[in-house]
Structure 1
Amino acid sequence: MGLTVPFKQVDVFTEVPFKGNPIAVINFLDIDESEVTQEQLQAIAIWTNLSETSFLFKPSDEKYDYKLRIFTSLSELPFAGHPTIGSCKAFLEFTQNTTATSLVQECRAGAIPLTVNEGLISFKAALFDFEGISDEVITGYEQSLGLKFIVAPALLRTGPNWVVALVEDAETCFNANPNFTMLTEQTKQNKHCGVILAGVKKNASIKNSYEMRAFSPLDKVDEDPVCGSGSVALARYLQELYKFEETTKITISQGGRLGRDGHIVASIIKETDGSTSYHVAGHAITVVNGKITL
């Protein structure tokens, strides 16, 4: 094709390079989306060898700031959290926009509002489903993870289909050693993306602090370093479990078992109309600037 476009690799949910979750972001803002094929986008995602690769396009309507398409090495996703924050960071840099405080991302999951405040990027999650799962499926996941859940897990469809489960505390979560062969079979059989495992930090100075891990071996990602959609799923699960009556912040750390140090703030916000919305915030830092040629 002979088309050369800008490329960035952004580390997400960190202010320190190489301690977050990387996303490759390709800038197609200056070309028509019809000029590239699904097969080309998928090939690039396979080549970057990251959990996700995202592509910025011109939006379909002026009410959006940009259109984002997100790919794993296997398929396209309707939405994902860390690609959303990382791609927003890249978009602002590609367009040399240093003053924006609010944007709207267009993606397959719909319109995703974002805010930018002193480098902290936050997105409002799209509406999603909460479902119970059977005792048989719960037992299968407990066996795969080698531990017991303290309450019944649930299925959260936040783009990926995450099973969210709680264990006794942060240490139990951190020390879990899944059998990935069994877990792959479980997720495949149940058509789930994977498992979000979390445990509360019992002696933390900040209330509602959790250690979280995200296992998705079916997508060839045994463990995701820091997971935005998973943090949305965890916040929604905790709201269902504890019925917070006021706006609540969930502070999440993730990635320690992989040598990372990711930090996420998931907010459960009580809106003035009585509804509840879910927001995820984190920092991002660009570590690679370059170009790719198709």
Structure 2
Amino acid sequence: MSLTVPFKQVDVFTEVPFKGNPVAVINFLDTDESEVTQEQLQAIANWTNLSETTFLFKPSDERYDYKLRIFTPQIELPFAGHPTIGSCNAFLEFTKNTTATSLVQECKAGAISLTINEGLISFKAALFDFEGISDEVITGYEQSLGLKFIAAPALLRTGPNWVVALVNDAETCFNANPNFAMITEQSKQNEHSGVILAGPKKNATVRNSYEIRAFCPVDTIDEDPVCGSGSVALARYLQELYKFEETTKITISQGGRLGRDGHIEATIMKEADGNTSYHVAGHAITVVNGKITL
């Protein structure tokens, strides 16, 4: 059976086309999920060859606005950041919804709350673990990146399993030249998705401003241009490191080494009940509209 459905390619964490991180979004909102197979979805994601391709389906119940499935060229992910923001933007356009200020996304990581404010889309990250890693693994990553970390890295399971590492400044982060073969081997051995490398901007006019890079060669993407789940991981890591006692906003730039200019806002929010939540926000712009046929 031939099936033709709408398709968009959305640039995320930018207001300027071709300067962010693209995600392919396929609209199956009018198709029963049982009509397409896991193999078909994976084949499409492998074909687009983007870091992620997503598929919009009808939600399982009325608590959600839509269901999202997220694929790299090789595997399905429970959650990812820039695909969530880009897919939200696509959903609003597919459904011609110009008034929504909040939505709930259903995905394998659970319910993801989204807010929309003058084009800025923000998601509240699902709860996730902070885990230490061994000195031996840390040394391996230092060798693969050719630099020294200024604090012990940690493993953050934010959908992908990111190792977050901090260096002295933004320039050190920007100029790093990793050995991708070594990172691939270490990621496979330790079941990691890759490394989020971050450095603070020492002379920035905004406090808590960072340059980050996301290395994930084990998923065939040597460097992700602009990474939402990595920004969540960084925010959680910084909270563990610095113990912020008030709601704190972190501004993040990413993608310069790849000719991009991505901008992310991450917020460590202190809730009224005393808990801490993590939010990531960015803009998105559609650059391709079309159809795809199975």
TM-score w.r.t. the length of structure 1 is 1.00
Q: Are 2:276 and 1:276 aligned?
A: yes
Q: Distance in 1 between matches of 2:281 and 2:24?
A: 19
Q: CA deviation at 1:240?
A: 0.2
Report how many residues are paired: 294
Q: CA deviation at 1:226?
A: 0.2
Q: Distance in 2 between matches of 1:48 and 1:173?
A: 29
Q: Distance in 1 between matches of 2:132 and 2:155?
A: 6
Aligned to 1:290: 290
Aligned to 2:201: 201
Aligned to 1:240: 240
Aligned to 2:262: 262
Task: Tell me which stretches of 4 or more aligned residues in structure 1 moved more than 2 Å.
Answer: none
Query: Per-residue CA shift, 1:131-154, capped at 9, x if unaligned?
Result: 000100000000000000001000
Percent pairwise identity: 88
Aligned to 1:152: 152
SS in structure 2 of the partner of residue 279 of structure 1: strand
Q: Which runs of 5+ in 1 are unaligned?
A: none
In structure 1, give the amino acid aligned to 2:135: D
SS in structure 1 of the partner of residue 192 of structure 2: coil
RMSD: 0.4
Aligned to 2:89: 89
Q: Distance in 2 between matches of 1:199 and 1:57?
A: 38
Q: Are 2:132 and 1:132 aligned?
A: yes
Q: Distance in 2 between matches of 1:169 and 1:262?
A: 18
Aligned to 1:63: 63
Query: Per-residue CA shift, 1:37-74, capped at 9, x if unaligned?
Result: 00000010011110100000000011100000000011
Aligned to 1:120: 120
Aligned to 2:167: 167
In structure 2, give the amino acid aligned to 1:135: D
Q: CA deviation at 1:267?
A: 0.2
In structure 1, give the amino acid aligned to 2:125: A
Q: Distance in 1 between matches of 2:3 and 2:183?
A: 41
Q: CA deviation at 1:188?
A: 0.8
Query: Per-residue CA shift, 1:242-271, capped at 9, x if unaligned?
Result: 000000001000000000000000000000
TM-score w.r.t. the length of structure 2 is 1.00
Q: Distance in 1 between matches of 2:178 and 2:91?
A: 37
Q: Distance in 1 between matches of 2:181 and 2:94?
A: 41
Q: CA deviation at 1:4?
A: 0.5
Q: CA deviation at 1:276?
A: 0.1
Q: Which runs of 5+ in 2 are unaligned?
A: none
Query: Per-residue CA shift, 1:128-175, capped at 9, x if unaligned?
Result: 000000100000000000000001000000010000000000000000
Aligned to 2:189: 189
Aligned to 2:2: 2
Q: CA deviation at 1:2?
A: 0.9
In structure 2, give the amino acid aligned to 1:148: K
